[in-house]
Amino acid sequence: MEPSESKALTLPCAAESAEDARRLVRTALHTWGLERLADDGALVVTELVANAARHTRGRLIRVTVSRPADGQIRIDVVDRSKTRPERRHADDLAECGRGLNLVEALTARWGTDPLPFGKRVWGLLEGGPAA
């Protein structure tokens, strides 16, 4: 399998889309023999979809999972908002505000790319070469 292959879905900009996004990530990782990254990938895409659903007014989001190199997975969520996400420090009783902290903990790195019509928020997972 060639690195840089990708799979993508356009989904409604709604928290419920996280289920389809998780399925996309798990299917891609299974296809690429990277099941060891599936749980972390599912959590990362869930948080990125939830943030897009909570903070953008667009109707659709685009979720892409790609393999830029052996042992690396990149998860992108594109939405129509130009507002960059910010990590917050949530207290123990807060019901939200931990999503990007979780993304940061699970990924090798993450970031935001501005686009002419919105932004792309991404996370890179690294799992080393297949065993």
CATH code (residue 40): 3.30.565.10
- The residue range of the domain holding 10 is 6-126
Assess if residue 18 is contained within a domain.
Answer: yes
Contact call for residues 39 and 25 (beta carbons, < 8 A): no
For residue 131, tell me if it sits in a domain.
no
In a domain, 1, yes or no: no
Mean pLDDT, rounded, of the chain: 88
In a domain, 55, yes or no: yes
CA distance 78 to 89: 24
Is the residue at 65 inside a domain? yes
pLDDT of residue 131: 44
In the structure, what pLDDT confidence band is assigned to residue 100 with cuts at 50, 70 and 90? confident
Residue 64 domain flag: yes
Under 8 Å between Cβ of 115 and 58: no
pLDDT at position 30 over 90: yes
Burial letters 109-118, b for 16+ CB under 10 A, else e: ebeeeeeeeb
The per-residue pLDDT for 111 is 96
54-93 confidence digits (pLDDT tens):
988 889 999 999 999 988 999 999 999 999 887 666 555 5
**Confidence (pLDDT) at 72:** 94
Q: Is 108 part of any domain?
A: yes
> Per the domain annotation, does 114 fall within a domain?
yes
| Cα 20 to Cα 34: distance, rounded to the nearest angstrom | 19
Provide the domain count of the chain: 1
Rounded to two decimals, the pTM is 0.87
Q: CA dist 20 to 2, 12, 100, Å? A: 25, 10, 20
Average pLDDT value for residue range 14-29:
97
